[in-house]
Structures are given as C-alpha cells and as structure tokens.
Amino acid sequence: MEEQKLTVEEFVERSRELPRHHLDFRRLGLNGKILDIGAGGEGVIGQMYPDSIGIDPDRLELEESPAKQLKIVMDGRDLQFLDETFNTVTIFFTMMYIHHDDHLKVFQEAYRVLKPGGELHLWYLQMGESNEETYGLILPLEIELPKGMIQTGYGAKWDRRQDDETFSELGKVAEFDLKKVELNGETGWIRFIKR
C-alpha cells in the first residue's frame, strides 16, 4: 500500500527543524565540464557555474530554478550521457529525495560519466537511525556565493540512515577513491575521485 502524501503544512508540523547551516561556496573551485544531478530548486551549482548541465526528473523543479545552466529532464539513476563525458559531477542535497535502494545506481552512473581523475562532490544531510516520533527533518541553509547569498531549505522524510559512513561505503563499492570528508553538524560534503 502506498503512503499518503502530506501537504507542506502537515510535513512541517510533523517534522523537526534543524538549526540554520551556513555553507561558504566562494572558493568551491569545481573544474571542467560539470554535471549537476538534482538541479531543481535553487539550482545552487547552476547559479555558480552557468556553463554546467543540470538534470532533474521533475520538469517543474527545473523550470522554477533561477540557474541559467542547460537544464535537462533526466533521472540520475539512468544518465543518458556517454561514458567519460564530465570532469565533475555534483549531487547537492539530492540523495534524500532518491530511494536508498537506488543510491548505489546513482554513484555507478556518476562514475561511468566521469573522466578518469574526475571528481564527484556530494553534499548531504546526515540522518542517523530514524526517530519514530519525528516524521522528517527540515534543514534551513544559507549558501554564500561569490556574488551574493542564497537562503533556502530542504525537507526530507526521516526513513533511513544517511551519513558519511554510508556514502563513503557506497563510493567504494562504485570504485571511487575517497578524497575528503567534511562534516558541519548535520551536513556533510564528500569528494570522491574516479580511479
């Protein structure tokens, strides 16, 4: 039986809001041809790198994004790009909207489309074991860009564990080398390199 979808108000009422997190992207330094998986919403990566390509399976999410990047309706589990097309792949707080059974497929697809030596950058909300009393988590974010500040937020159902250990292991299974892990309270950023 499918779970009933909640309205925004119901989700907020049943969820826990985390403290506002600050991310400083002024010196992010992504290189080469960039693919941004989950480019809807604020389109943070696309705002910084307008020459990047942003994908999202939800057309409306892409249409509402203020980013000026090339936007394509596409699923991160089935990328329609040739092997070794990109220097960098980004996944900015997108994994919480992809079923955990599909996370490895996203990693494998990112690996496939990256050139050797290319990097995967993954930002995520750390979620430990789910809490029966709390339906979801809401993460308010402020992101400092070279030309201004974005204030946004992400909310996700708390139904699975998602943390640096889980994502580091998925990266290894997909054959990435782990380059760096940075934790900032409930958020994390991992950089992987394609062998």
The pTM assigned to this predicted structure is: 0.92
Closest residue by Cα to residue 21 from 169, 151, 137, 114: 151
Single-letter amino acid code for the residue at 86: F
- pLDDT the model gives residue 2: 46
pLDDT digits (tens, 9 = 90+) for 56-71: 999 999 999 999 999 9
Mutual angle of helices 103-113 and 164-173, in 10-degree steps: 50
DSSP type of residue 150: E
Higher pLDDT, 129 or 57: 57
Domains and CATH numbers, the chain: 31-133+160-194 (3.40.50.150)
Mean pLDDT of 139-156: 91
Closest residue by Cα to residue 24 from 138, 122, 149: 149
Mean pLDDT of 63-80: 97
* Residue 99 pLDDT exceeds 70: yes
* Residue 131 pLDDT exceeds 70: no
CA distance 48 to 36: 11
Instruction: Check if the beta carbon of residue 113 is closer than 8 Å to that of residue 87.
Output: no
Q: What average pLDDT does the chain have?
A: 91
- pLDDT the model gives residue 154: 87
- pLDDT the model gives residue 87: 98
* Residue 1 pLDDT exceeds 50: no
Mean pLDDT of 130-150: 86
CA distance 106 to 55: 13
What pLDDT band is residue 144 in, cutting at 50, 70 and 90? Answer: very high
